[in-house]
Structure 1
Amino acid sequence: MRPVIGYIGAPDGDRLVGALTSLIIRLSGGKPARLRRPPDDNSPRIDGLILLGGLDIHPSRYNAEMEVESRFDLQRDELELAWLAVAFARSVPVMGICRGLQMLNVKAGGDLHQRLDPEITRNWPSGPIGYALFRKPVDILPDTFLASVFGPGALRVNSLHRRAVRNIAPGFTAAACGEDGGVQAIEAQEGSLRFGVQFHPELLLHRADMRRLFRRFVQACRTRMQADN
């Protein structure tokens, strides 16, 4: 049987991202389930959870005052936190992508930088073509789950985030860092597989290493499913 992988994306738009995520879940051996409502008695029983990119997380979610005006989606914040509570309670594997990494960190007790140093982002492209083609190096740290997928050392990724992890949540550790030393990935130190990346592997499916990342995640979800049966 295929593990059911629930995923949450932007409620409007981002159809391509949703379609690509659903496709890679299927190709990796999972059954995708788009989660649009908070969990209740009629919700699917998920074996894994993926949180995709999107608007910024409201600072109140990590007990901070607003430092920078931005666009928020409070309903999505609540939706993701509710499903993360289910995933944590049942030890379900979690993958966070960009905003999803940040929400995973917030849910577990960490917080965020609300704005990166302008010197870091000064030369980043802003248009859709530039965004699609932009790549930057990150350093995958040894003895991590990501190192077992990509190998330790340099990895070029598509990362243009404007907010980032400040304090890593208790029980988690950095799994990748940028050239500026900023956190580019986190993962849980023990228990079920829970990790987040500050780049977009769902938009790099032409690369074998990114497809391998999803396969490894779905394998962990299948193992969790089998433990329940």
Structure 2
Amino acid sequence: MSNKPLIGMNADFRATNRNMPAYGYIAAGYFQSIIAAGGVPVIVPPLADTESINALLDSVQGFMMIGGADLDPRNDGFMLHPSVRPLDPSREASDRMLMAEIAERRMPILGIGTGMQLMNVQQGGNLFLHIKEDLPSAVPHHDAHDPNHRHTLDVESDSLIGRVYGDGEIRVSSRHHMAIDEVAPGFRVTAKCPDGVIEAIESEMMDWFAVGTQFHPECGAASALDVRIFEEFVEAVVARTQEEIRLVA
């Protein structure tokens, strides 16, 4: 059996628009990072039913939830803020079904950007809908003219993120206007921007490796330290798979 685990990752989706056909897509940094870390990416288009979701998850050993546009707050009982640019409904519906089943299975997961926000919401947390209004003293977390916009990061040393970055000044790629407000039960904050905006969360549950970053370690401006996040994730997936094999043997 290969030591390279299959890692599912959700594709984004754009519906038919005038003369353009509908298509699914994913930024190359996501699958390139998984390949570099020793995993085999399996790109998953939006799926419309739980039977398909379960068939897919039966075939992979871990999952990465990618970033993208915004979660629609109306799906969680909140009003739609004017700044929100929702995901395509078919992608969001699929992502929510995937996240619910991943949590039920305690499958190892890495959530990035919107993926981290969904993990938090699905597990019982909630979000600020617009940092500029909800946290007016915050530094800029998005620059429309600079896709590689970066800010500094304060990390908790006793965490995966702390293990990855160690001591010294840390700068990460940032492009978001929503952020975690209340952290879901079972998770803790392991990194913040110095302005207090939550930038990483990790599961405290012994049976679930689940890590989320609001920043983008797959970005083109990523550093060698950023890549370590993917290596830690793939290593955790391999360890979980080997433990499951041992228990069955």
* TM > 0.5 fold call: yes
Alpha-carbon spacing, 1:181–1:122, altered in 2? closer, same or farther (3 Å): closer
Whether 1:137 and 2:152 are equivalent positions in the alignment is yes
Give the structure-2-normalised TM-score.
0.82
Match of residue 65 from structure 1: 79
Alpha-carbon spacing, 1:139–1:121, altered in 2? closer, same or farther (3 Å): closer
Which stretch shows the higher mean deviation, 57-66 or 172-181? 57-66
Alpha-carbon spacing, 1:221–1:115, altered in 2? closer, same or farther (3 Å): same
Whether 1:213 and 2:229 are equivalent positions in the alignment is yes
Match of residue 125 from structure 1: 143
Shift of 1:42: 4.4
Whether 1:30 and 2:57 are equivalent positions in the alignment is no
3-state SS in 1 of match to 2:147: helix
Check conservation: 1:109, 1:169, Cα contact below 8 A.
yes
Q: Which one of the candidate residues 128, 137, 157 is aligned to 1:113?
A: 128
Match of residue 54 from structure 1: 68
Inter-partner Cα distance in structure 2 for 1:69 and 1:160: 14
Shift of 1:224: 1.6
Alpha-carbon spacing, 1:71–1:208, altered in 2? closer, same or farther (3 Å): same
Check conservation: 2:139, 2:195, Cα contact below 8 A.
no
Match of residue 6 from structure 1: 8
Letter in 2 for 1:221: V
Shift of 1:100: 0.8
Letter in 2 for 1:201: P
Percent of paired sites with the same residue: 28
Check conservation: 2:83, 2:130, Cα contact below 8 A.
no
Give the structure-1-normalised TM-score.
0.88
Match of residue 17 from structure 2: none
Inter-partner Cα distance in structure 2 for 1:198 and 1:58: 17
Gaps of 5+ in 1: none
The structure whose Rg is larger is: 2
3-state SS in 2 of match to 1:131: coil
Match of residue 56 from structure 2: 43
3-state SS in 2 of match to 1:79: helix
3-state SS in 1 of match to 2:170: strand
Shift of 1:204: 4.4
Aligned residues: 225
3-state SS in 1 of match to 2:176: coil
Match of residue 200 from structure 1: 216
Gaps of 5+ in 2: 15-22
Tell me the C-alpha RMSD between the 2 structures.
2.3
Match of residue 103 from structure 1: 118
